[in-house]
Each structure stands twice: as C-alpha cells, then as structure tokens.
Amino acid sequence: MSKRRLFGTFGVRRVANEVLDPEFASLLAGSFGSLVGRRIAVGGDTRTSTPMIKHAIIAGLLSVGCEVVDLGILPTPAVQYATRNYFDGGIIVTASHNPPKYNGIKFVDEFGIGISEDMDIGVEELYFNKNPKRVSWDKIKKLYDNDTIIDEYIDETIKRVDEEAIKKAKLKVVLDCGSGAGCFTAPYLFEKLGCELITLNAQPDGSFPGRDPEPIEENLQDLIAMVKELGADVGIAHDGDADRTIFIDETGSFVPGDKTFALVEKYMLKANNGGLIVTTVATSTAIYDIAEEYNGEVIATAVGDLLVARKLHDEDGLLGGEENGGLIFPDFVYGRDAALSASKVLEIMAIEKTPLSKLIDELPSYFTEKMKVQCDDDIKEEVLRKISDEVSTLGFKVDTTDGVKIFKDEGWIIIRPSGTEPIFRCFAESKSQKDAKEMANWGIALIEKYKGE
C-alpha cells in the first residue's frame, strides 16, 4: 500500500486480515494515540473480525501511554457521543454498510468529529515510519470497561424529541436492525417511546445472515413485505453500525434518504424560524427549495459526513445531512445518527398526525438515479481529470467541490470516485425519472470511456 493512501473519506476500510490485520491495527492505533494522548474511547460493531481488531487497537493505545475505555459493541454515533462528552479521542471499529468480510477503523477527535486531513497525515507519518511514541513500562495506563454509554445514549436521544407526543401516537413500527450494532440500541429506544414494535434481524451476527448491511431498497424486501402485511405505520432500517436510518412508509414504499432529510429539514426550520443547513454537493435541490421557503441557509461541502459535521461545528449549524439517509444533529452527535433520525421522523408523524407517505408527498419532488461502476483506485484521478476536461469543453456549468458536478438544462449530475471502494459513483437528479436516468447513463459512459484506455 502506497503512502498517503491509508485513509479514505472516513478512516481505513479493508478486508479483515488482508491489510487490516492485528499488526496493522495496533501500529495505526499507536500512531493515533501518540498524537492524541490521554483518554481514548474504543467501540465497534457486530462484525466477526471486530474483537480481533479492537483488541489490537487497545494494545496499540496502551503501548503509547493512553488510558483506554472499552465501550463494547455499540453504534458509531454512540461512540461519537461518548467521546464528545467524556474523552480526548475515540476509535470505532466498523465497516459501516460494507459486506461481512470488510472491517474498518474510524478515528474521531475530542468533539467526536472524524479527524481532519492534517491529522490523518500525522497519523500516517508515524505509521509509515513505525514510530509511535512507546512509553516505558511504568507509564502504561489502565484499560477500563464501560457499559453504561448505551443507556445514556438512548436517554439523551429521547430528551431531544417530544416523548409524550410519540407515546400518545402509539405508532406501529417494524424495525430491521440488520444484525448490526443497532440491535443494542434501537429496539430499546422504540420501546421506551411507546411504539408497538416488531423486530427483524435483531440478533447481533457479524455474518449478517438476514440481509446485507447496506440499507438499500433491494436489501429491504423482507421489511417492506412485513410493513405491508402487518399494516404498520412505518418500517425503519439501520446500516451495520447504525449511523444511517432508512424508512419504509405505511404503503410499503421505500423512502429515499434525501426525502427524509428534506422532511426533517422542513420541520426543524419551521420550529426554529430558520437556521443553517449543511449538506454535500451530491444532495437534492429539494434541500435548497425548502431552505428558501422556511428562512434557511444551505452550505454544501465535499461528500463525507465528517466534512458536513466539521462545518456544522465551525458554523454553529442547525442540521446536516447526506443524500444516503445520514442526518446529523449537531446539538447531539457530530456525525450521522440513526437513533435521533428515526425518533425525529416518528415525532413529525406523531405531531402532524399524518401518515409518512403524505408527509413525503408534500415535499418538493425530484427524481434521482444512482449508479456505480468499478474502477481501480490508481486510475481514478486520471479518469476524473479526463472527464472534467471533456465536460468543460462542452460548455456546461461545472462545480468541482468533489468529483465533477455538471449542471445541464434538465438537472444535474455528479461523477465522483468513492473514497472507500474501487468504484466511481454517478448521481443524477432531474424533474423526470427518464431524464435522470439518461444523465446517469451518460455519466457512466464517460467513466467507461476513460477507464478503458
């Protein structure tokens, strides 16, 4: 692996025991610990390789004189919450929505925000020089366990919504935990909120036997069928580390993540008489339409929830979000949070006394098409440059905050290399599905053209 290539958009993600083995994890954690020092929280998801990697991380941190608190198996945002309130830094062992063979390491700073690029580089330098600052035997600090954060995280989530209104609505909820870290929080949260709860894949299992951990429509067919069959008010699905929530409405329709974002944005802007919304360049125009109507302001960053989170922190924003269903509530966690996202939508349904499908219908309507295509990491940059060159000669307005976003008469399209996988992603949005699809196909054809050379 070449220098400067360890970190993707948020930490390291690889196949367990290929690059991501105990030696790698220990040395990387020792490098991080050398820079942060003091008290570090460690937690992880339900993956089979998580205990192996987590214990290597703990050894690395202890070797450089950090005090370590093991929070156990819990959602990524629960570690971020704990770090922000009690620790100097945090490490999360998770590969989020990726298949079971993967795992990953995410580093967060004292605010619980994914570490900056400068810090990434600092950690990498120590790693590649094999130079973490080992301490003498008498300076090695203690390892503690803490299993109280989960309950605190659930209670703090509930404090941020109208608990009584949700309880009164007695919503019938089908919850698909996907056998991930949400198994330890989500069922208890919705029970405390008085929901009539039916769970699916609520047994933690790192082989993810029930479904793939990515909460996309094709992976949620069991949930969709159960919502319809049982006449539920809503279906809720989490990804592997429970930072993302996806909803199924009462008719069994999959609600795209940007619709959920738009719904919560509208509700929070109304409640707060405006505010700053932070999102990425890949998010729907609906976010801008709503901000205009309800006295909001929108800032768009490059793709990556840690960039959105940092901007929310620096600019004191009200709400952040991504098109994939990751909402960020900066008064709680500086990162995507599935628990509060889900609770917020239940609150909106309860207070508005309106079915989810109708709440979604009332939002500005755009059609999106998301496609992806394989592309080796080492040619991504060149492919992107050639695409940028070609589209700029065609006279379109272009935004290069992240990848290349092209504004055409019928809508926009963004072509960008993934920071975590050897693929290019291509998102298009338009007022019609046909146009969105045509634009996305055009984008894929551009990528194919240049990666083939």
Binding site for Mg ion (CB under 5 A): 96, 239, 241, 243
Active site residue 96: yes
Output 176 or 243, the one with its CB closest to Mg ion.
243
Among 32, 2, 35, CA closest to 19: 2
Nearest-angstrom CA–CA distance, 339 and 185? 8
Task: Provide the b/e sequence for 43-61 (b: ≥16 CB within 10 Å).
Answer: bbbbbebbebbbbbbbbbb
Output 239 or 438, the one with its CB closest to Mg ion.
239
| Least gap, CB of 213 to Mg ion (angstroms) | 8
DSSP result, 222-277: HHHHHHHHHT-SEEEEE-TTS--EEEE-TTS-EE-HHHHHHHHHHHHHHHHTSEEE
- SS3 at position 199: strand
| Least gap, CB of 240 to Mg ion (angstroms) | 6
| Least gap, CB of 18 to Mg ion (angstroms) | 21
| Least gap, CB of 244 to Mg ion (angstroms) | 5
Output 96 or 260, the one with its CB closest to Mg ion.
96
The residue of the chain with the least Cβ separation from Mg ion equals: 96
Q: What are phi and psi of 25, to 5 degrees?
A: -65, -40
Output 124 or 243, the one with its CB closest to Mg ion.
243
Output 98 or 368, the one with its CB closest to Mg ion.
98
Terminal Cα distance for the chain, rounded = 24
| Least gap, CB of 114 to Mg ion (angstroms) | 12
DSSP result, 336-403: --HHHHHHHHHHHHHHHT--HHHHHHTS---EEEEEEEE--HHHHHHHHHHHHHHHHHTT-EEE-SSS
How many CB atoms neighbour CB 4 within 10 A? 11
The type of residue at 169 is A
Of 49, 96, 179, 430, which is the active-site residue? 96
Active site residues: 96
